Each structure stands twice: as structure tokens, then as C-alpha cells.
Amino acid sequence: MYRAMRCTALTGPAALSMQELEEVGPGPGEVRVQVRAIGVNYPDLLMTRGAYQLRLEPPFTPGMEVAGEVAETGPGVKGWSPGDRVIALMRHGGYAEQVVVPEDALIPLPAPFGFDEGATFHVATRTAYHALLDRGRLQAGETLLVLGSTGGVGLTAVELGRLQGARVIAVGSSDERLAVARQRGADAVVNYRTQDLVDAVKSLTDGAGVDVVYDPVGGELSRASTRLLRWEGRLLVVGFASGEIAAYAANHALLKGYSIVGVRAGEGARRDPAQARRARDAMLAFAAKDHLRPHVCRAYPLAQAAEALQSLESRGVVGRVVLRP
Ligand SMILES: NC(=O)c1ccc[n+]([C@@H]2O[C@H](COP(=O)([O-])OP(=O)(O)OC[C@H]3O[C@@H](n4cnc5c(N)ncnc54)[C@H](OP(=O)(O)O)[C@@H]3O)[C@@H](O)[C@H]2O)c1
């Protein structure tokens, strides 16, 4: 038997409760991983409300990424052995003491990382990489505006943008939160609570604006950011942490010659696995050199998964939080 946090109704994080489950597997080609840390992602929160693209019927176990040690391998598994330190990826099921996944859902834990960093590496870096490089074609020397830069996928975009040689302007709701974005490589920051976003970015860019906007927030900040896009700029629609899906004026995109580009990191990987493998290798190479490292600000016991999700929702988190079984 093992324990997992199960979502028993689509009413939000409070509907999570600890339950004992029967061990199954590992079947052919599968691996059992003893979980040491679990990454908490915004989509987990949306799933507890039935508000994510993937809508699961309760009871289910949220959780898209974990890190731990291989406990047992099923028949035919060649590449992994008990004791290997790994990251395991899944669409759900991670809020648990153990997971059973196909062997190709594992990646080796980068040497500089502990389990907390491993559990928070893949979803955010995959999202930022797919958005900025595959979809946004970010070039060295371009200017990148990162909305939601103090959150999980935003902070990673700051780091990755800098690694690509872009000039990065990070946007957030407080100077304290933005200090972390600066530490992670932002060239300049804008606090939208105390500054007007458009005026501040125009002044930082001598009126020229930006080439790429990375937008996991939506709402008013997203609409305002379109006023900052240069000719042939790209607005990367990553998510709606503000809760508001922005509507854009097509005539404005036409007049200013910019593109509005949808980003779905998980679906992109399912549709083009070869491209996703290339991206993963590039991200792992950055991680191995310690150039890309998740910023984990807090750890909760697995039993407090609801509190962890609520801290994300109430913006009490800079970077990432993890759960520990
Ligand atoms: N497209 C994809 O493939 C993909 C993949 C993963 C995640 N996502 C989406 O990306 C979005 C962000 O995910 P995340 O994991 O980075 O979340 P997060 O860690 O909670 O970060 C969101 C950031 O948005 C800012 N924000 C602005 N208004 C907000 C509001 N009303 N409520 C909460 N936050 C607000 C917050 O920063 P300030 O307080 O500093 O403004 C916060 O740090 C989510 O919508 C998620 O579903 C998309």
C-alpha cells in the first residue's frame, strides 16, 4: 500500500485528501519510482476545479512531475536500475509516495540538482523553451518582456531568455518579488503596481518597445503589452494566471505587424516528439552546467498539498513550491 493525495470533487484544493492505494505494477516497460519531491504546478490547481484542458473525473491524483529514486523495474526495462536518481513526468498522478511510469517518462536527475530542483525542472523549462525558441523564435540581441516573471514558468523564461542572449525585462507585482527575477538574470524590472507598464518599458527601451512578450498572466497586462510590440513582434500566449483571458483587436495586430502565438508545451511535445527531445537535451545541457536551476522557495509535506496550491493562488510564492512525501 502507499499514500496519495486524491482529489475527490472538482471544488478546488480543499477537496484533496490523503488515501491509501493498492500497489500495482510495474508492468512490462514500466518503472516504480520512490518519490522524494513533487513539483506543484498551476495546472494542478486548475485540475482540482475541472478548469484545465485535461478534465479528469474524481477521484484522481494531481501532479505532473516528481523526482526520486528508481525502486523497481518491470520486465524488459533496460535503461534504469534500482537506486537511479530520476525525474518522472506524467499528466497526473504525482502527488503520491510512489509512481509507476513508462521508462521513457524518466530523465536522469541533473548532477547539480537535489530532488526539490529535479521535481520542478521539466514543466517550467519545457514551457519556457517551447514558447521562446520553438514558437517565439527569440534571437540573441532581441528584447524580451516577461509577464508573471516571479512565477514558475515566468522565472524560467527570464533565465532562458538571458541564456539566449536577449535583453530581458521582467514584470511583477512587488519590488521584493522582482529582486529574485533580477538575481536570475533580468536586465531590468517593472513593478506594475507602482509603475505604468507601457510608460516604464518605453522609457527602458528609448521608445522602441520589445520584440517578444512572454505572457502567462493574460488580462489587462497582456492587452497593455501589445502596445509595446515592435514590427514583427511576437506575443506568446502561455497562460491566464490573472484569471482573465484577454481579447485582442485584430486591426491593431495588422497595423503594427505583430503575431499572437499560442503555446501548449505538453501538446507540442506529443505532436513533435523529436523536437521535444532536442529541447530536452538542450535544457539538460544547461542544467548540467548549472546555468538553469529552479528557484524553490518553500517545501510542504504531501499532506498539505491544499495549502501549497493555495499559496500559489494567493501569490505567496516566488518561483516554485514542492511537496515532500
Ligand atoms: N502553455 C503552457 O504550455 C503552460 C505550461 C505551464 C503553465 N501554463 C500556465 O501558465 C500560467 C502561470 O503558471 P505558473 O506555474 O508560472 O504560475 P505561478 O507560479 O502561480 O505564477 C503566476 C504569476 O503570475 C502573476 N500573476 C498576475 N496576476 C495574478 C493573479 N491574479 N493570480 C495569480 N498570479 C498572478 C504572479 O506574479 P506577480 O504577483 O508578481 O504579478 C505569479 O507569480 C498558468 O495559467 C498555467 O496554467 C501554461
Whether residue 87 sits in one domain with residue 60: yes
Q: Is 287 within the bounds of a domain?
A: no
Task: Return the CATH number at 80.
Answer: 3.90.180.10
- Best residue among 40, 42, 263 to mutate for probing ligand 1's pocket (most ligand atoms within 8 Å of CB) is 42
Q: List, for residues 296-307, the tens digit of each pLDDT value.
A: 999 999 999 999
Which of 267, 285, 304 is where one domain is finished?
A: 267
Q: Is 284 within the bounds of a domain?
A: no
Q: How far is the CA of 294 from the centre of ligand 1 (A)?
A: 15
Which of 247, 267, 287 is where one domain is finished?
A: 267
150 ligand 1 Cβ < 6 A:
yes
Q: List, for residues 187-202, the tens digit of each pLDDT value.
A: 999 999 999 999 999 9
Which three cell numbers mark 61? 491524483
Q: Is 272 within the bounds of a domain?
A: no
Q: Is 276 within the bounds of a domain?
A: no
Confidence of residue 316 (pLDDT cuts 50, 70, 90): confident
Q: List, for residues 252-311, the tens digit of each pLDDT value.
A: 999 999 999 999 999 999 999 999 999 999 999 999 999 999 999 999 999 999 999 999
Q: How confident is the model at residue 3, as a pLDDT? A: 98
Q: How confident is the model at residue 53, as a pLDDT? A: 87
Q: List, for residues 160-213, the tens digit of each pLDDT value.
A: 999 999 999 999 999 999 999 999 999 999 999 999 999 999 999 999 999 999
264 ligand 1 Cβ < 6 A:
yes
222 ligand 1 Cβ < 6 A:
no
Q: List, for residues 226-246, the tens digit of each pLDDT value.
A: 999 999 999 999 999 999 999
Q: List, for residues 47-83, the tens digit of each pLDDT value.
A: 999 999 899 999 999 999 999 999 999 999 999 999 9
272-309 in b/e form (b: 16+ CB < 10 A) is: eeeebeebbebbbebbeeeebbbbbebbbebebbbbbb
Q: Angle at CA 253, nearest 5°, toward 251 and 259? A: 150
Q: How confident is the model at residue 305, as a pLDDT? A: 98
Q: How far is the CA of 24 from the centre of ligand 1 (A)?
A: 35
Q: Is 71 within the bounds of a domain?
A: yes
Quick one: which of 165, 147, 169 has its CA closest to 215?
147
Q: What residue spans of 130-272 are helical by DSSP H? A: 152-163, 175-183, 197-204, 219-225, 250-256, 265-271
Q: How far is the CA of 106 from the centre of ligand 1 (A)?
A: 26
Confidence of residue 25 (pLDDT cuts 50, 70, 90): confident
Q: List, for residues 107-159, the tens digit of each pLDDT value.
A: 999 999 999 999 999 999 999 999 999 999 999 999 999 999 999 999 999 99
Whether residue 174 sits in one domain with residue 54: no
Whether residue 179 sits in one domain with residue 131: yes
Ligand 1 atom nearest 154 alpha carbon: 16
Interacting residues of 102 by C-beta distance below 8 A, sequence separation 6+: 29, 30, 31
Share of the chain above pLDDT 90, in %: 97
**How many Cα neighbours within 13 Å face the side chain of 196?**
6
Residue 167 lies in domain: 124-267
Q: Is 53 within the bounds of a domain?
A: yes
Q: How confident is the model at residue 218, as a pLDDT? A: 97
Q: Is 250 within the bounds of a domain?
A: yes
262 ligand 1 Cβ < 6 A:
no
For the chain, how many structural domains are there in total?
Answer: 2
89 ligand 1 Cβ < 6 A:
no
49 ligand 1 Cβ < 6 A:
no
- Best residue among 46, 150, 297 to mutate for probing ligand 1's pocket (most ligand atoms within 8 Å of CB) is 150
Residue the block writes with cell 532562458: 160
216 ligand 1 Cβ < 6 A:
yes
43 ligand 1 Cβ < 6 A:
yes
Residue nearest to atom 24 of ligand 1 (CA): 148
Which of 249, 267, 285 is where one domain is finished?
A: 267
